[in-house]
Structure 1
Amino acid sequence: MYTVDLHAHTRFFHGHRALGDRFDPLGVRLLTAMAARRGLDGVATTNHDYYTAFDSSSGVEPLPGIEITTDRGHVLVVGPNPPEATKPGALSPNEAVALAHDRDCAAIVAHPFRNSSVRELDDVPFDAIEVNGKHPRSRPLVEELAAERDLPLVGGSDAHYPFEVGRAYTVIEADQLTPGAVVDAIRDGRVNARVYRSWHDRLLRRGYRAIHDRKHVIDALEKPTPGVGRPPGED
Structure 2
Amino acid sequence: MAWFRGDCHTHSARSSGGELTPAQVVAAAREFGLDFLAATEHGTDENFADWAATGFPVLRGRENITPDGHWLDIEGRLRVVAHPHAPYPGGTFTLPPDGFDLVEVWNGAWRSDVPWQADNEAALAGWLLDPLTRPAVGDSDIHRAGQIGVAHTVVRADRCTPGAILDGLAAGRSWITDSASTELTFEARRGDHVAQIGDTLPPGDGEPELTVDVRGVPGARVELHRTDAYALVEVRHPDGRMAALTNAIRLSETRG
| Coarse TM-score class (shorter-chain normalised) | 0.5 to 0.7
Residue type at the aligned position of 1:4: G
1:217 alignment partner in structure 2? none
Q: What CA deviation, in whole Å up to 9, does each residue of 1:30-70 have, x standing for no partner?
A: 0010001100001111100000323253x632221100012
Distance 2:26 2:175 in 1: 21
Deviation for aligned residue 1:155: 1.1
Question: 2:74 matched to 1:106?
Answer: no
In structure 2, the CA distance between the partners of 1:2 and 1:197, relative to structure 1 (3 Å rule), is closer
2:194 alignment partner in structure 1? none
2:39 alignment partner in structure 1? 45
Deviation for aligned residue 1:117: 2.8
Q: What CA deviation, in whole Å up to 9, does each residue of 1:124-176 have, x standing for no partner?
A: 23111111014457444322222334321111101112321111100011111
Identity %: 32
Say if 1:35 and 1:60, in contact at 8 Å, map to a contact too. no
Q: What CA deviation, in whole Å up to 9, does each residue of 1:47-105 have, x standing for no partner?
A: 00000323253x632221100012311101112xxxxxxxxxxxxxxxxxxxxxxx3x1
1:11 alignment partner in structure 2? 13
Residue type at the aligned position of 2:52: D
In structure 2, the CA distance between the partners of 1:197 and 1:32, relative to structure 1 (3 Å rule), is closer
1:62 alignment partner in structure 2? 58
Distance 1:7 1:191 in 2: 16
Query: Of the two, which has the highest radius of gyration?
Result: 2
The structure carrying a bigger helix percent of its residues is 1
1:28 alignment partner in structure 2? 22
The correspondence for 1:144, drawn from 125, 129, 142, is 125
Distance 1:109 1:177 in 2: 23
The structure carrying a bigger strand percent of its residues is 2
Report 1:147-186 matches (<5 A).
147-149=128-130, 150-186=133-169
Deviation for aligned residue 1:183: 2.0
Distance 2:160 2:8 in 1: 13
Q: What CA deviation, in whole Å up to 9, does each residue of 1:173-224 have, x standing for no partner?
A: 11112222222112211121212399xxxxxxxxxxxxxxxxxxxxxxxxxx
Distance 2:53 2:6 in 1: 14
Give the TM-score taking structure 1 as reference length. Answer: 0.62
2:108 alignment partner in structure 1? 133
